[in-house]
Amino acid sequence: MGERVATILSVTAFLFLLFVVPCFAAEKHDTPGTAEARRRMVALLKEKYDIHDEKILEVMGRVPRHLFVPEHQRKNAYEDRPLPIGYGQTISQPAMVAYMTQLARIDGTSKVLEIGSGSGYQAAVLAETAEAVFTVEIIPELARRAEENLRRTGYGNVKVRQGDGYYGWPEEAPFDAIVVTAAAPHIPPPLMDQLEDGGRMIIPVGSPYRTQHLVLVEREGSEFRTQTLMPVRFVPLVRPEEP
Ligand code: SAH
């Protein structure tokens, strides 16, 4: 009898460790409603958009997006749209973040460059699957905020730098993937140079007032294959010398 009780207790303890503890670990940043809102967002990514990579869906279900938006926007954090983050900038729509991450095809050994840190959210999503993420933001206050958001949420494998992302991060190059989250009038040559052989770059190309297109660049040695994927709308990649 005593043995049976002991067995039941140890099975219960095992199940607790297996299911309940990881659940707390994944949701330690959640407040009432945020975990459920995030689950609904992931369901929408699956049903409405072509996000089929289970790893990406799992990551989208884990990163606490509500901690990357200004406090007054928290209630909208898991809605299917971009949100203002101050300084005239926006955090991209979750579906776009998931889609760009899926296109980047990164794994645990990847070194990734992001241009346009903004809130730090896309960098966090990339950091969940990459070895290291380097992200450049031109607006000093946003660079500081992105760094703070990433520190608070525990993404130790992301480095934020303030500067003009047109020039990439040459000291850390080459990168297995480059994700640009602001629209450039052309693909910046320094970013092409910093792409690893076999690497992939995802970049919105076009002017702010015309249709922009999401472009995938794949490098094979000195060859660059570009593919135009779909019309998109991003904030512009600004250049310091412009008025
Ligand atoms: N990836 C961000 C969304 C970024 S919005 C997120 O997940 O929240 C685009 C960002 O690009 C803005 O923060 C903008 O300030 C920044 N940006 C614009 N031009 C830039 C440039 N030349 N270099 C680096 N960042 C730039």
The ligand 1 site (C-beta within 6 Å) comprises: 89-92, 115-116, 118-119, 121-122, 136-139, 142, 164-166, 181-182, 235, 237-239
Q: At what angle do helices 140-152 and 121-129 cross, to 10 degrees?
A: 50
- The one-letter amino acid code at 193 reads D
pLDDT digits (tens, 9 = 90+) for 189-223: 999 999 999 999 999 999 877 889 999 999 999 99
Domains, the chain, ordered by start = 2-232 (3.40.50.150)
Q: How confident is the model at residue 1 (pLDDT cuts 50, 70, 90)?
A: low
Global pTM reads 0.89
Distances from the Cα of 50 to the Cα of 6, 47, 67, 101, 160, angstroms: 48, 8, 26, 13, 30
Distances from the Cα of 27 to the Cα of 21, 58, 61, 121, angstroms: 10, 13, 10, 16
Higher pLDDT, 64 or 242: 64
| Residue to substitute in 83, 89, 114, 169 for testing ligand 1 pocket (most ligand atoms within 8 angstroms of CB) | 89
Q: Is 92 a catalytic residue?
A: yes
Q: What is the whole-number distance in angstroms between the Cα of residue 137 and the centre of ligand 1? A: 6
| CB 46 within 8 Å of CB 54 | no
Distances from the Cα of 10 to the Cα of 1, 6, 22, 24, angstroms: 14, 6, 18, 20
Distances from the Cα of 114 to the Cα of 29, 48, 117, angstroms: 24, 26, 7
